[in-house]
Homo-oligomer: A and B are copies of this chain.
Amino acid sequence: MKLSGLLGKPSKTAPHDADTANAKFLLQGGFVRQEMAGIYSWLPLGLRALNNVQKIVREELDAVGAQEVLMPALESKENWETTGRWDTVDVLFKVPSQTGREYALGPTHEEVVTPLVGSFVNSYKDLPVAVYQIQTKFRDELRAKSGVLRGREFGMKDLYSFHATQEDLERYYEIVKQAYLRIFKRCGIDAKIVEASGGSFTKKFSHEFHAITQAGEDDIIACMACTFAQNTEIATVKAGDSCPACGAELKSVKGVEIGNIFDLGTKFTQVFKLAFTDEKGERQTPLMACFGIGTTRLVGAVVETHHDERGIIWPKEIAPFDIHLVTLHSKDQTVQDRIVEVSSGLYRDLQAQGHKVVWDDRADASVGEKLADADLLGMPLRILVSAKSLERNGVEVKARHEVEAHIVGLDGVMEELG
């Protein structure tokens, strides 16, 4: 992709009202555009990062046997009345129709997935079953804030699993918990697992996954050496204590919730009258668990945990492009011809080798602008072609997280990048 033709160019100035790093850098970099409070368009660069997150989510959930589906955003009012949530969920958008009926605009999908799965479950042989979707969700938040961290419209992966026994639910709950840790790890985040509800005193349980960042809304006591964490409000430990899981020192930090998982028991399966015949021939109510990851929020959390004062530092698997190729133009026509020849050759060869390359080929941007934009956009590797580098018959190579660039000879570039 050539930067000159890209929709959503980096801007010279940061938005004046950005309250978080993700809001600042995603907007300034042209990754997203704010349409209204809490409502964003994803521009080509941002969509590539979001697609990378979605790809990781799909791979890890397919690997644990979950099946992908796509449920509608317009949900049945009757089903929301059945669960009693039509009048109790205050963030629920209610959509009137000219046909006289009303729809719920889905903030979550228990009201759809439970009867859906129920229509295919009749015997213990039909269980367990797990389905997920990656879909747009809607929440009528009173106050949208923190860039893509808390929006009125956002991307979410929601997974629902159905089980014949509590043991089987707990087995799968643990499998998905581990899959979640792999997903976050691949996104560059060492997630902390927070026990969200009363723990051992209640039969049902729930966990939150947090990324540690100053932009977080939650105060947590977390171990830096393992995944242990507690919410400060209900913590049984305090900062300075030893981690009950691994012994390392606990710290008081801010966390942003990037995933949550719930044992729902028979809460939804009962009201929708799901039933299966067990091995003894008796009718039973299946148990249900649900597992959420905010996909657009996760992109924001990645930025919160991976940036410096100059811009984003994308983790390898999330980066929209692997390589940011910068061409610095020269007024000496002979040198300029050589610069263009080397740059376009690299652009072609790197892509042929499987690299994803964004090429800053702009003729009207200054050296300072180009270097600042490379830092702002934050691709893992910057390759710079200039009169100076070509004097040494090479290009300047610098990883985004490094300070110093080094010269790599033209004949060694392809080999060095592998």
Contacts and interface: CB of A to CB of B under 8 A. Distances in A.
A375 interface: no
A351 to B, nearest CB: 14
Interface string A66-84: 0111111111100000000
Contacts of A40: 72
Given A74-B36, A74-B138, A140-B99, A69 B7 contact: yes
A273 to B, nearest CB: 17
Interface stretch (A89-97, A198-206, A245-253, A366-374): A89-97
Contacts of A44: 67-69, 131
Contact of A76 (B36, B72, B120): B36
A335 interface: no
Contacts of A88: none
Contact of A74 (B39, B96, B116): B39
Nearest to A130: B7
A50 to B, nearest CB: 7
A63 interface: no
A43 interface: yes
A117 interface: yes
B98 A95 contact: no
Nearest to A155: B70
Given A33-B116, A120-B7, A142-B98, A39 B105 contact: no
Between A41, A47, A68, the greatest number of chain B beta carbons within 10 A of the residue's beta carbon is seen for A41
A360 to B, nearest CB: 16
Contacts of A18: none
Contacts of A41: 69-72, 112, 116
A119 interface: yes
A28 to B, nearest CB: 13
Given A33-B119, A69-B47, A72-B35, A93 B95 contact: yes
Nearest to A151: B72
Nearest to A101: B36
A153 B50 contact: no
A97 B39 contact: no
A100 to B, nearest CB: 11
B93 A7 contact: no
Nearest to A97: B140
Contacts of A131: 7, 44
Interface of A: 5-9, 33, 35-36, 39-44, 47, 50, 67-76, 90-91, 93-99, 105, 112, 116-117, 119-120, 129, 131, 136, 138, 140, 142, 152-153
25 contacts: A7-B129, A33-B116, A35-B72, A35-B112, A39-B72, A39-B74, A41-B69, A41-B70, A41-B72, A41-B112, A42-B70, A44-B67, A44-B131, A47-B69, A72-B153, A73-B73, A73-B138, A74-B152, A74-B153, A90-B98, A93-B95, A94-B95, A95-B105, A97-B152, A99-B142
